[in-house]
Structure 1
Amino acid sequence: MMLILTLGFLACLILKDMLCIFCFTLFFLVYLYYRFKDKRILALFILLSLFSCILVYPKEFKTYETYKVVEIKKGYCIGKNKGSKIFIQTDLDLSFQDEVKVKHIEPIHTDDNFTLFSFTKYNENKNIRFKTNSIEIIHKSTSLKSRLYNYLKSKPNSSIVLSLYYGIHDETIDEIYTMLGYGYMSAYYIVLHLLKRKYDETKIRRILLVFSILFGHFFVYTLSLSRFILYQLSTLFFTSKPNQIAFTILLFGILYPNQVLSISFVCPLLLQLVSYFCTEHKWIVQKLVLIGLMFIYFKKVNLISLLFFNILRKLYGLIFIFGFIVQDLINLKLPELTIHYAPRILFLILFIVFYIQCLKHFKWKYLLILFVPLLEIYCNPFFQVYTLNLGQADCSVIVEPFHKSVVMIDCGQNLYRDNVERIIMPFLENKNIHTIDTLILTHDDFDHNGGYDTLKDKIEIKQVIEDSNQIVNADYPFYLLLSEREAKDTNDSSIISYFTYDHLTYLFMGDASKQIERQLMSEYDLKADVIKVGHHGSNTSSDPDFLDSLDCKIALISCGYKNRYGHPSVETLKTLENLHINTLCTSDCGSIAIYSLHHLSFLVTNDGMFGIIWA
């Protein structure tokens, strides 16, 4: 009963929205009534539901002049003053409990894309919404915590130890071991197993619990360590495994209400439930759960790491124990045999159903879930048009149903980031795109074709188009317009793409100016449902008469957040508004996707917007 109540409480925390919590509470109360026939249980869950509303209610951010460093990651730190945290990005050598003065703050913003990790959302879940790169150290800490960190950091090849002790992820260790805290957990059970041979297990657990709390105090309370401490605490109060799990869920939800969907909590919880409720083939079920979670959270599975999961977990436990005295550690990063897959709704639904069924009774037919990725990838009937968010650069990916063909328009670069390495290739891998049938390079600007040299070395490209006279190899109407034109500069020579699928017509303008738009009007009688606005929304493009003649429904704009060019211009946005064209900008909503299947068409943005397109 206690476990069911806390799982309901957990569901309320996950839903967050007050209306959703209210609706769920009503349905769950009906379930509880028919299950237990006890009004006291109903009253208790109502209290838990109300408590969850208080926990998830957005907290106001208060700014302070000074912050203390409470968390250190690779490339950044987290500062804290009372209940407010701030993201600190600096080249200064900071340590734990250093006090810094903040000169300027601004909202955290990253170029978010489908299937890729969102650093902005990650920090929002930790109630960190503002950042600074302008600080002054006003006090260097001499605390034991700071000295321990500086000592370990100064050791040769310290990256594995820093990862296991502080959660500072490094490429020398698989990320899942860092996030799940398996270094400390494995070390704990190694010590417990050795000592309980000679001493009372209950006393040893109490001593190790105190040690765990002290370890968190002098090092860092990562999410995985906090959850582990709460679970060990629950074993002192409850003998029943379900009650231990329920107690852990309740306390973790109270302490970290916005982190209940983190893999540091979800993965151990699901594996614990398998360990207790699953009566047969536990090893297989646990591996399938791990595969599913790694697809959901990391969009990839390293099969070699998964195969040696139990061995590596114990090995990291030994390294954790001897980390203070070992001077040279080998690189334990295993060779990769990696499968990439970004799960969609079908996989998520089947994963939940599979998990619930396996807790009751495992059947070999449940292994069919492993084929769902292939089903979703190669049996996807939707025509897909993606506008990636590369900042002040351009890249669009057009995927024909069932992966019949892939067309990419531009692969732009930025001066501050390798877009191909950081965004384009991870996106293609997660979508299981291993071949680009046609790459259209609209014109010779770094923000449009700058990634070509890198991209061609990483993925097969069958056809490259750099001239409007070439023909796109596609089985649907795909035209390159205005092959003969009067172009005054490189921008005006941009290849203009015009294609149709499922009764929707798309027009991609590159960086073409108003002059080229007028030439298009005089040369063709164009209509377009979706336009990729020219020149990142600059006022050099988007002539009102031209846009009006197209009878557009949607305008897409690629531009960087707070870019130095001021794109998109106020004039262009005003024109689009006056013409009642729905405008989506990557700098505001992240990457944009349009899906169509016959007469059904809809769009989705990375920040959660959803809209039906009426053809």
Structure 2
Amino acid sequence: MPQKLLKILLPLAAAAAILAAGAVWIWYPRPAEIFSAGAGQILRVDFLDVGQGDAALIRVPSGQNILIDGGPDQAAARALERLLPFYDRTLDLIILTHPHDDHVAGLISVLERFHVEKIAYTGVSHSAPAYLDWLEAAKKEGSAMVIIDRPQTLVLGADCELRFLYPRRSLAGASVENLNDSSIVVKLVYGRTSFLFMGDAEAPVESELLSVQEDLRADILKIGHHGSNTSSQAEFLAAVRPSLAVISAGADNKFGHPSPRILNRLLKNQAKIWRTDQNGSLAARSDSREISWPPPPLPK
């Protein structure tokens, strides 16, 4: 595995005090000299085409690499090898939204090819082989495991932060009826721009977030549950008001994702739609004032 990159960390006592006071992580960037000169002040979010699954790579202006989910196979690891420079084979954070195979199985290959500093997950109980193999791979890698059990904020640098909105209670060790509704929901904010990642969260999670009056407004929404009918209620979409909706799904998948009903609902909300099954991976960029993305290619 590549040598761990030097970090500047808060003393443990100070970190504990901050967490106790307001559930805020302070994460100092890695030394600037290890980043490419072209990094500038651009936030990069790549929604990866991994077939019937989810994976997104976030590259923060201050240098951190964050991966949300890993898809069902080695496609995410191969994409990371293309997107990250040869001298930087470290992921500062992996967020596993929930332990279904189409989100976790690909993370095994990621752990084999990259050094992973921290992993955020719910700790929910699940006995699927892919999830258990991933937990074993994470243990072997020595990544710090962080349980997300309440709303909290991870500060990534000036004007940039990750807000964990869900779950709002501990699910560690719990057996849940619907793993989709154990999904971590996270909002990435950079200046005046924002992205909302829903994992596979379904209508009950959306309703709970609406009931507690979370700030759900986001420029780009990663649609929950691959565009299934179980997610993306009209009231939820009205609260988010996305300019762009990203749907991660596999071509001709057996589930019929995305649902025509959800596609129509998004169009009624005047949201543009990017489908990985038709348009491939999406490279979105933010300068803290506005977000840009390329025009969609012709359907594959």
Q: Same fold (TM over 0.5)?
A: yes
Provide the residue aligned with 1:508 in structure 2. 197
Q: Residue 474 in 1 paired to residue 160 in 2?
A: no
1:428–1:434 Cα contact (<8 Å) kept? no
Residue aligned with 2:189, SS: strand
Give CA-to-partner distance per residue, 1:450-484, whole Å, 9 cap, x none: 12222112111111011223764633221111332
Relative distance call for 1:376 and 1:465 in structure 2 (3 A) is closer
Provide the residue aligned with 1:80 in structure 2. none
Provide the residue aligned with 1:494 in structure 2. 183
Provide the residue aligned with 2:142 in structure 1. none
Higher helix share: 1
Aligned equivalent of 1:484, options 148, 163, 168: 168
Aligned equivalent of 1:378, options 16, 27, 37: 37
Provide the residue aligned with 1:465 in structure 2. 120
Provide the residue aligned with 1:550 in structure 2. 240
CA positional deviation for 1:433 = 4.1
Provide the residue aligned with 1:449 in structure 2. 104
Relative distance call for 1:545 and 1:420 in structure 2 (3 A) is closer
2:70–2:104 Cα contact (<8 Å) kept? yes
2:185–2:198 Cα contact (<8 Å) kept? yes
Provide the residue aligned with 1:387 in structure 2. 47
Q: Distance in 2 between matches of 1:480 and 1:376?
A: 26
Letter in 2 for 1:388: L
Letter in 1 for 2:190: Y
Q: Distance in 2 between matches of 1:400 and 1:606?
A: 24
Alignment of 1:529-608 (within 5 A): 529-604=219-294, 607=297
Provide the residue aligned with 2:92 in structure 1. 437
**Residue ranges of structure 1 left out of the alignment (5+ in a row):** 1-373, 610-615
Q: Distance in 2 between matches of 1:546 and 1:529?
A: 14
2:96–2:119 Cα contact (<8 Å) kept? yes
Q: Distance in 2 between matches of 1:471 and 1:600?
A: 22
Alignment of 1:149-298 (within 5 A): none
Relative distance call for 1:556 and 1:532 in structure 2 (3 A) is same
Q: Distance in 2 between matches of 1:413 and 1:527?
A: 29
Aligned equivalent of 1:410, options 69, 75, 94: 69
Provide the residue aligned with 2:58 in structure 1. 398
Residue aligned with 1:457, SS: helix
Relative distance call for 1:452 and 1:375 in structure 2 (3 A) is closer
Q: Distance in 2 between matches of 1:534 and 1:515?
A: 12
Relative distance call for 1:473 and 1:431 in structure 2 (3 A) is farther
Residue aligned with 1:413, SS: coil
Residue aligned with 2:36, SS: helix
Percent identity for Structure 1 against Structure 2? 30
Residue aligned with 1:575, SS: helix
Letter in 1 for 2:95: I
Relative distance call for 1:504 and 1:608 in structure 2 (3 A) is farther
Provide the residue aligned with 2:218 in structure 1. 528
Provide the residue aligned with 2:136 in structure 1. none
Relative distance call for 1:586 and 1:431 in structure 2 (3 A) is farther
TM-score by length of 1: 0.35
Q: Residue 419 in 1 paired to residue 107 in 2?
A: no
CA positional deviation for 1:565 = 0.8
CA positional deviation for 1:529 = 1.4
Q: Distance in 2 between matches of 1:479 and 1:562?
A: 34
Relative distance call for 1:600 and 1:533 in structure 2 (3 A) is closer
2:45–2:283 Cα contact (<8 Å) kept? yes
CA positional deviation for 1:411 = 0.7
CA positional deviation for 1:514 = 0.8
Alignment of 1:337-356 (within 5 A): none
CA positional deviation for 1:440 = 0.2
CA positional deviation for 1:545 = 0.8
Q: Distance in 1 between matches of 2:57 and 2:68?
A: 6
Relative distance call for 1:553 and 1:606 in structure 2 (3 A) is closer
Give CA-to-partner distance per residue, 1:72-115, whole Å, 9 cap, x none: xxxxxxxxxxxxxxxxxxxxxxxxxxxxxxxxxxxxxxxxxxxx
CA positional deviation for 1:518 = 0.5
1:591–1:605 Cα contact (<8 Å) kept? no
Relative distance call for 1:545 and 1:432 in structure 2 (3 A) is farther
Higher strand share: 2
Q: Distance in 2 between matches of 1:480 and 1:428?
A: 25
Q: Distance in 2 between matches of 1:490 and 1:577?
A: 28
CA positional deviation for 1:572 = 0.6
Relative distance call for 1:557 and 1:426 in structure 2 (3 A) is same
Larger Rg: 1
1:592–1:605 Cα contact (<8 Å) kept? no
TM-score by length of 2: 0.70
Provide the residue aligned with 2:139 in structure 1. none
Q: Distance in 1 between matches of 2:87 and 2:284?
A: 18
Letter in 1 for 2:183: S
Give CA-to-partner distance per residue, 1:164-210, whole Å, 9 cap, x none: xxxxxxxxxxxxxxxxxxxxxxxxxxxxxxxxxxxxxxxxxxxxxxx
Q: Distance in 2 between matches of 1:600 and 1:471?
A: 22
Relative distance call for 1:397 and 1:606 in structure 2 (3 A) is farther
Count of residues paired in the alignment: 231
Q: Distance in 2 between matches of 1:378 and 1:490?
A: 42
Letter in 2 for 1:493: S
Aligned-residue Cα RMSD (Å) equals 2.6
Q: Distance in 2 between matches of 1:447 and 1:441?
A: 11
Relative distance call for 1:573 and 1:461 in structure 2 (3 A) is same
1:593–1:605 Cα contact (<8 Å) kept? no
